[in-house]
Amino acid sequence: GRAAPRDSRRGPGKPAREAGAQQIVPQSQEKFYCLAAQIQLLLQIPEKIWTAMESSQYLQATQLYLLCCHLQGILQLDSSGTRYSPILACFPILARQVAASGHFRSTILQESKSLLKSQTVLDQAVAEALCSIMLLEDSSPRQALADFLLARKSAIQQLLNQPHHDAGIKAQVCSLVELLATTLYQAHALFYTLPEGTPADPALPSGLLFSALETITSQHPAGKGVSVLKEETKLSTWFRYLPPSVTEFQLTLRTLAHPISQDYLRDTLQKWIDMCKEDISIGITSLLVYVKSLKGLAGIRDAVWELLTSESMSQNWETVCCRLLDKPISFWEDLLQQLFLDRLQTLTKEGFEDIAASSRELLMQAVQELEAKFGSPTHNKHLLFEQNMASFLWSESPNDLPPDAAWITVANRSQFAKSGLSMKAQAHSPCVQSFCSALDSKLKAKLDDLLSYLPSDASLSKETLKRQSRNSAFDRYADTGTVEELLRTHCISCVDDMLGSIREELRHAEGVLQGCRDALHSPTLNTVLFMARLCRSLGELCPHLKQCILGKPGSPESVTMELWPLKKVGKGKTPEVNPRKAKWQELNERLLQDSLSAYRIWSHIVAKVLVQNFTQSLLKDEAGSILATATSWEEIEIEEETETGNSIKSKIRLPVQPSWSVQALLFSLCQEVGRVGGHTLPKVTLQELLKTCLTEILAGYEKLSEGKPEKKEGMLPITQNRALQLLYDLRYLNIVLTTKREDIKSSRNKQDSRTEKLIDFLESYIDPFDLDVFTPHLNSNLNRLVQRTSVLFGFLIGEENQYTSRSSGPTSQDSHNTLPLASSQIRFGLLPLSMSSSRKTKSVLRNSEHKTQVGVCVLTHDFFPVFLPSGARGLRNPKCLFQFVNAPLFSPMGT
């Protein structure tokens, strides 16, 4: 009974206590769960940060890091604080967590700034990286712009300092250009804000940085909180225990993110471009050092052109440049073009310097071979041809005719194809051909390399190239004129350098020959002739030399093959001279002058040696010496009328041939001219040779006139007959050796005055009455002699002087030819009759056989075709040849 009341008393009190406990425990649990949730979140954040950084989501990592710092502040885990944190005492692991989270800030900053250097990331990723930096460093948009540009400048330096190879330089330069272009595009996408009222272009984004900042720092209630936590809330139940200070945590900037003004953006970008120019100039210059050919240089230029002309690069380029810089910008023209031109100039200069050096070596080698002793094992047939050009002209070789000569005409043959016969016809010796071929092959290689930098289609005009360049990023052929001018300049310098070596060798050779006793047979004279032929042949045998200066054939600016315009220029008008043609003409003039200088040395030596021998023979006074040089005279019957009117017939004897010494002199001159290829000898050189010879001959006659008044024992005085022979010789030499150029009239006048004095001197030894009788016949003999020897001494007389006195000299009854002449031919009076002539002609030939041997044409190696009797074949010695001068070849034919 006692128990029941006790139970009744406890019964109603127990539920009351349990209800109070149910009210107290949930509140403490909620606090506990809230603390546990924060600790759980704090422990999970590092893993989430690393995951975000591995996926390059640096803005998400930054948000998590700042949330982590916020949680540490809520939980009072900051070890630098003065207050004691009881949570650290209960959970010691949090101390390590706090220490580990301290490295996230520097890591995120480092990775974010490293991402700014990349040119392949998207604009949005760059904007998020800049937002991370701004949030972690509490910086402004202007500072973000500076960080962005500094990162790109560092990327440029890193790109230029990479280990490079020849094959990878193109990729490096293209990467550099792409980085520069991408930087401007991203600067527009990130920092440029459109003016109010301007519609946005989806293809050209702008203001991404400010959009991203507004998104993560938005104060709108719907946008509060870290987006990562919102996603996690849907997955984990314990997230609902987090306090609002965590779930509604909002990122803030200490400084307001004001948009950057266009003026500041323009000035900053321009300063950045100016700063990068120096680095780019140094870096690209060091890269291009490894480009050893102009073809490689052109390949890099074309790759840059293709990159900037691509649609992805050029679509909105002008708009971006005008918005950011208020002007168009071309990376090629502003940064790269001059660097490429500098490298091109260096390569061109080095290339032609190598050509000049190798040409000097070839020249020295040729000189050494030519000046070596003949007959040594080192000499070959080609070197002997240099000594005697006639032996080369009359030799046969397999390449005399090109293999396609039978079916390809000369007009359709390439200008670079030269047959052996054409080389011989122009007296281009084998050594000259070899030198010019080596030089031309090097010029061709250099020219082909440089042409790869120029337009491939040379026929396009400037207007066509300009129209094509409008649709491209830049005109890659805009510097064509500069490149061609560099080519011409260095090519001419190369030739001038070679000519300098030739002049030096000529000065040395001239000094050697002046002191040489047997100068005509000196090997040094062969060197002089080689250089004379070389200078004369360079312009023709090196077609690529002409192409280097005149330009590629077919281009609108290239000149024709003619050096002077064919159109007549009106009075008072100055003809327009193409600069290229003028430079080519100047170079040809220098080559010609050096060739003439070398030939002048040769002509001086020839005239000096040969005339010296003639003068020695002329000044001999012994009777034997005078008789040794005498030739046959002609006996002429004349009829004179006496005072009474009766006619008296008498006979006179007059010279019809020059002295042996005169004939030997002229024949030796022709031999020397023929030996050097007289048919190609410059007319000026031949005229200088004749002028020098005549001057020296007159000097010898003057010595004769000055020395005769002195009578010495054993000296034969000048008789009338000897005076007639000397007079005949002097007048004949004066006719043969006198040139007819108008520009040397003054020198001719001086020689004529000297000649007249000498003629007067010799005529003083002849009876005046006899002189009047002799003069007409003497003149007739001179005319016939000149006609007879006009072919024999054709090199000296020249084409314009041959047969000039035929109309007044010989008649049909006084012919001086071994072959019958065509009487019906007016224009070609000396044309012999062919084998199909009339019977009368054949009978004339048969009737004349008993009087003279029919002349045959003999081709000698040391001379030219001369008509000799059949018994004189193979003669080489002039003295032997002169034994036949009295043969019927030189006397009238029988009537």
Hey, what amino acid is at 329? I
Q: Tell the residue number behind the tokens 């315009």, with chain if given.
A: 565
What is the pLDDT, as a whole number, of residue 486?
A: 93
Over residues 52-63, mean pLDDT: 88
Helix (H, G, I), strand (E, B) or coil at 314: helix
Task: Give the model's pLDDT for residue 668.
Answer: 92
pLDDT, average across residues 579-592? 92
Contact 721, 774 (CB under 8 A): no
Q: What is the mean pLDDT of residues 363-373?
A: 84
Query: 768 Cβ partners below 8 Å, 6+ apart?
Result: none
Looking at residue 73, its pLDDT comes to 73
Calculate mean pLDDT across residues 663-688: 90
Higher pLDDT, 91 or 429: 429
Query: Quick one: which H or E segment has residue 469?
Result: helix 462-470
Least confident of 42-46, 150-154, 501-505, 816-820: 816-820
**Cα(582)–Cα(480) distance, integer angstroms:** 19
Helix 93-101 and helix 3-54: axis angle, to 10°? Answer: 30
- DSSP label of 196: T
User: Average pLDDT, stretch 631-653?
Assistant: 85
* Phi, psi (deg, nearest 5) at residue 516: -95, 135
Label the pairing between strands 633-641 and 647-655.
antiparallel
Query: Which range in 456-470, 725-739, 855-869 is most confidently predicted, on average pLDDT?
Result: 725-739
447-461, 587-601, 746-760, 879-893: which has the minimum mean pLDDT?
879-893
Is residue 579 packed enough to be buried (19+ CB in 10 Å), middle (13-18) or exposed (0-12)?
Answer: exposed
What is the torsion angle, in degrees rounded to the nearest 10, for the CA atoms of residue 38, residue 43, residue 48 and residue 49? 100
Q: How far apart are CA 334 and CA 338, in angstroms?
A: 8
Least confident among 132-136, 225-229, 417-421, 426-430 = 225-229
Cβ burial, residue 41 (10 Å; 0-12/13-18/19+): buried
Q: What is the pLDDT of residue 63?
A: 86
Which one, of 227, 242, 233, lies nearest residue 42 by Cα?
Answer: 242
For the chain, what is the radius of gyration of the CA atoms? 53
Residue 292's φ and ψ, nearest 5 degrees, are: -100, 0
Range in 107-121, 224-238, 617-631 with the lowest mean pLDDT: 224-238
- In the predicted model, is pLDDT for residue 877 greater than 60? no
Instruction: Please state, in angstroms and rounded to a whole number, the distance separating the CA atoms of residues 198 and 454.
Output: 45
Name which residue leads in pLDDT, 270 or 747. Answer: 270
pLDDT at 594: 94
Q: How far apart are CA 191 and CA 182, in angstroms?
A: 14
* Whether the Cβ atoms of residue 38 and residue 246 lie closer than 8 Å to each other: yes
Q: Which residues contact 315 (CB under 8 A, 6 or more apart)?
A: 203
What pLDDT is stored for residue 817 in this prediction?
A: 55
Q: Which of 824, 859, 820 is nearest to 842 (CA)?
A: 820
Residue with tokens 């009351």: 16
Residue type, 37: A
**Does pLDDT of 821 surpass 80?**
no
Amino acid 92: pLDDT: 59
Judge whether residue 434 has pLDDT over 80.
Answer: yes
- Kindly report the three-state secondary structure assignment for every residue of 127-145: HHHHHHHHHHHCCCHHHHH
Within 553-711, residue ranges assigned H as helices are: 579-618, 623-628, 660-675, 683-707
Helix %, strand %, coil % for the chain, to 5? Answer: 65, 5, 35
Q: What is the pLDDT of residue 165?
A: 58
Burial of 819 (0-12, 13-18, 19+ CB in 10 A): middle
The structure's pTM equals 0.74
- Minimal CA–CA distance to 564: which of 543, 541, 547, 588? 588
Residues 319 and 206 sit within 8 Å (Cβ to Cβ): no
Question: In terms of Cα–Cα distance, which of 270, 274, 277, 286 is closest to 335?
Answer: 277
Q: From CA 736, how far away is CA 795, in angstroms rounded? A: 10
Q: For residues 895 and 502, which has the higher predicted lDDT (pLDDT)?
A: 502
Given a cut of 60, whether residue 814 has pLDDT beyond it is: no
pLDDT at 94: 67
pLDDT of residue 832: 54
Residues 6+ apart with CB under 8 A from 211: 127
Q: How far apart are the first and last CA of the chain?
A: 201
User: In terms of pLDDT, which residue wins out, 338 or 718?
Assistant: 338
pLDDT of 433 > 60? The answer is: yes
For 135, 308, 389, 479, the CA distances from 471, given in Å and listed in that order, are 44, 11, 61, 18
pLDDT at 199: 84
Q: How many CB atoms lie within 10 A of CB 208?
A: 22
Cα–Cα distance measured from residue 169 to residue 287, given in angstroms and rounded to the nearest whole number:
7
Maximum Cα–Cα distance for the chain, whole Å? 224
Question: What pLDDT is recorded for position 164?
Answer: 62
Per-residue confidence (pLDDT) for residue 359, from 0 to 100: 94
Q: Does residue 622 register a pLDDT over 70?
A: yes
Would you give the DSSP letter of residue 568? P
Structure tokens at 159: 């790109």
Per mean pLDDT, which range of 76-80, 290-294, 472-476 is the poorest?
A: 76-80
| C-alpha count within 13 angstroms, C-beta hemisphere, residue 422 | 14
Check whether 848 has a pLDDT greater than 80.
no
C-beta of residue 774 within 8 angstroms of C-beta of residue 746: no
What would the two tokens of residue 94 be? 């949090």
Query: In angstroms, what CA-CA distances link 246 with 69, 103, 114, 243?
Result: 11, 22, 31, 6
Q: What is the mean pLDDT of residues 359-379?
A: 77
Report whether 583 contacts 551 (CB < 8 A).
no
Burial label, 601 (beta-carbon count in 10 A; 0-12, 13-18, 19+)? buried
Residue 123 CB partners (closer than 8 Å, separation 6+): 186, 189, 190, 205, 208
Higher pLDDT, 396 or 732: 732
φ, ψ of residue 867 in degrees (nearest 5): -90, 120
Helix (H) or strand (E) holding 653: strand 647-655
pLDDT of residue 862: 42
Strand partners, 640: 648
DSSP 3-state of 253: coil
Per the CB < 8 A criterion, the answer to whether 295 and 452 are in contact is yes
pLDDT of residue 591: 94
Collect all residues with Cβ–Cβ distance below 8 Å to 692 and sequence separation of at least 6. 603, 604, 607, 608
At residue 653, φ and ψ (nearest 5 deg) are -115, 130
Q: How far apart are CA 212 and CA 133, in angstroms?
A: 13
Of residues 892 and 703, more confidently modeled: 703
Say yes or no to pLDDT of 592 above 90: yes
Q: What is the mean pLDDT of residues 539-566?
A: 68
What is the structure's pLDDT at 235? 63
Query: Residue 710 is encoded by which pair of tokens?
Result: 């002195």
Alpha helices in 294-396 (DSSP H): 294-309, 311-314, 317-325, 331, 337-371, 381-387, 389-393
pLDDT digits (tens, 9 = 90+) for 166-217: 558 999 999 999 999 999 999 999 999 988 878 888 888 898 999 888 888 8
Closest by CA to 381, choosing from 373, 390, 391, 372, is 391
Per-residue pLDDT reduced to its tens digit, 67-99: 888 877 777 666 555 555 666 656 656 666 666
| Per-residue pLDDT at 74 | 72
3-state secondary structure 393-444: HCCCCHHHCCCCCCCCCCCCCCCCCCCHHHHHHCCCCHHHHHHHHHHHHHHH
pLDDT digits (tens, 9 = 90+) for 553-573: 655 454 444 433 444 445 555
Q: Tell me the C-alpha distance between 797 and 307, whole Å.
A: 71
Helix (H) or strand (E) holding 774: helix 768-788
Question: Is a pLDDT exceeding 90 seen at residue 514?
Answer: no
Across 596-617, average pLDDT: 92
What is the rounded distance in angstroms from the CA atom of residue 738 to the CA atom of residue 748?
8
Query: Mean pLDDT for the chain?
Result: 78
Q: What are phi and psi of 565, to 5 degrees?
A: -70, 145
pLDDT at 5: 42
User: What is the tens place of the pLDDT at every residue in 690-703?
Assistant: 999 999 999 999 99
Contact 428, 533 (CB under 8 A): yes
Question: Could you read off the pLDDT of 217-247 as tens digits, one per residue?
Answer: 876 555 555 555 656 655 667 777 777 777 7
Q: Tell me, what's the pLDDT at 13?
A: 45
- Nearest CA to 665 out of 705, 628, 615, 627 is that of 615
